[in-house]
Amino acid sequence: MGKKIFSGVQPTGNLHLGNYLGAIKNFVELNNDDKNECIFCVVDLHAITVYQNPELLRNNIYETVATFLASGINHKKSIIFNQSRVGAHSETAWILSCVARMGWLNRMTQFKEKAGKDKEKASIGLYSYPVLMAADILLYDATHVPVGDDQKQHLELCRDIAQRFNNDYKVENFFKVPEPLIQKQFSRIMSLKDGLKKMSKSEPSDLSRINLTDNKDDILNKIKKAKTDSLPMPSTIEELEDRAEAKNLLGIYSSLSGLTLEKSISEFSGKNFSEFKNDLAEILVDKIIPISVEIKKLLEDKKYLEQILSEGHKKANDIASNKLKKIHELVGF
């Protein structure tokens, strides 16, 4: 049986290799399987949980759509839409926030990381962010949610919210309890400057990530400057245990080449990092440059991107408003 897929990406700029390998590459494979119904959402309501410059946000929304298309998602097979245009998301998030418990949200590690030491100054939206994410997923009866490893806890919360609602309102299976789809290997791509930190859009140093809009020189330069250690390339998986940078770079190589980690290790075993880096840069250029070129081309035709968002909006809005109507009835509105 086919799966009902839902996933979202925040339009906060700098979409990078982590987003691609952790999530978008998986979206494309799911989209290519004709049995699946896929919905991919540009989650701009999530983006504003930290202040976004309005002009930049508008542009980043288009850039995210362009990235979906350039990576190979087919808008005729999948719904691509923008979260803020479908009012049901915010409204459902409110209703679900009356079902979710403070105790559950207090455990969310992403909030703790993002809010930092001074939680009093974090926005309420940043705190309740996973409830909105649950609304996104549950409105479409998604059965599977492809995400990177960092979203696993949010998905568990979504499952708890679905079950609690079904229980409280005595409606078995009204909300489908979704399964996460997280790659078994390489589901967390790390910074090129620190193998213990996640590759991230918000990291100040651009050298820490490969952006999907980077050109060839950017990629060559970033790989040349990527942090390594002073030992030769490892010969066994065990050796990677405390060599975070080597592990990450080999993981990226494996993921892009489709080779197992074992095969990649044996290909470079005992060699210098510089030799490995040449091959890594080459495969990155091969895979990323066509995407980068296509993103830039698509961004020159905003009318086309707008048309895709508008088609997606109609389809998504039909599904979501229908579900919201049923939620209203159940709740007693």
Residues that bind ligand TRP (CB under 6 A): 6-8, 10, 43, 46, 133, 136-137, 145, 147, 151, 154
136 binds, among ligand AMP, ligand TRP, none (CB under 5 to 8 A by kind): ligand TRP
Q: Which two tokens stand for residue 163?
A: 């079950």
**Rounded least distance, CB 165 to ligand TRP, Å:** 17
Q: Considering the complex, what minimum distance in angstroms separates the CB of residue 267 from ligand AMP?
A: 23
- Taking the least distance from each CB to ligand AMP, the nearer of 22 and 130 is 22
Rounded distance, CA 223 to CA 204, Å? Answer: 17
Measured in whole angstroms, the distance separating CA 262 from the mean position of its chain's CA atoms is 27
Residue (280 or 327) nearer to ligand AMP, CB: 280
Question: What would the 3-class secondary structure string for 314-330 be?
Answer: HHHHHHHHHHHHHHHHH
From the list ligand TRP, ligand AMP, none, pick the one residue 312 interacts with, judged by a Cβ distance below 5 to 8 Å according to partner type.
Answer: none
What single letter denotes the amino acid at residue 23?
Answer: A
Q: How far apart are CA 79 and CA 230, in angstroms?
A: 48
Q: With contact defined as beta carbons under 8 Å apart, do 192 and 227 qualify?
A: yes
The rounded distance, in Å, linking the Cα atoms of 26 and 305 is 22
Amino acid 77 reads K
Say which of 3, 4, 25, 198 is annotated catalytic: 198
d(CA 107, CA 73): 34
As measured in angstroms, the least distance from the Cβ of 162 to ligand AMP is 19
Closest residue to ligand TRP, based on beta-carbon distance: 8
Please identify, using beta-carbon distances, which residue of 4 and 154 lies nearer to ligand AMP.
154
Residue-wise burial string across 239-266, b where 16 or more C-beta atoms lie within 10 A, e elsewhere: ebeebbbbbbbbbbbbbbbeeebeebbe
315 is catalytic: no
Output 71 or 166, the one with its CB closest to ligand AMP. 71
- CA atoms in the 13 A half-sphere facing the CB of 128: 17
**Contact positions toward ligand AMP, by CB under 6 A?**
9-10, 18-19, 22-23, 147-148, 150-151, 187-189, 198-199, 201
Q: Which of 201, 287, 296, 315 is catalytic?
A: 201
Q: Least distance from C-beta 332 to ligand AMP, angstroms?
A: 35
- Partner that binds at residue 203, options ligand TRP, ligand AMP, none, CB closer than 5 to 8 Å by kind: none
CB of 6 to ligand TRP, least distance (A): 6
Q: What is the DSSP string of 76-108?
A: TTEEEEEGGG-THHHHHHHHHHTTS-HHHHHT-
Taking the complex as a whole, how short is the minimal distance between the CB of residue 280 and ligand TRP, in angstroms? 25
Structure letter (DSSP) for residue 227 = -
DSSP tag of 233? P
- C-alpha 269: how far from chain center: 32
| Known catalytic residue at 4 | no
The residue (of 89 and 247) whose beta carbon lies closer to ligand TRP is 89
**Given the complex with ligand AMP, which of 129 and 268 has the nearer CB atom?**
129
- The DSSP secondary structure of 285-308, one letter per residue, reads HHHHHHHHHHHHHHHT-HHHHHHH
Active site residue 198: yes
Catalytic residue ranges = 114, 198, 201
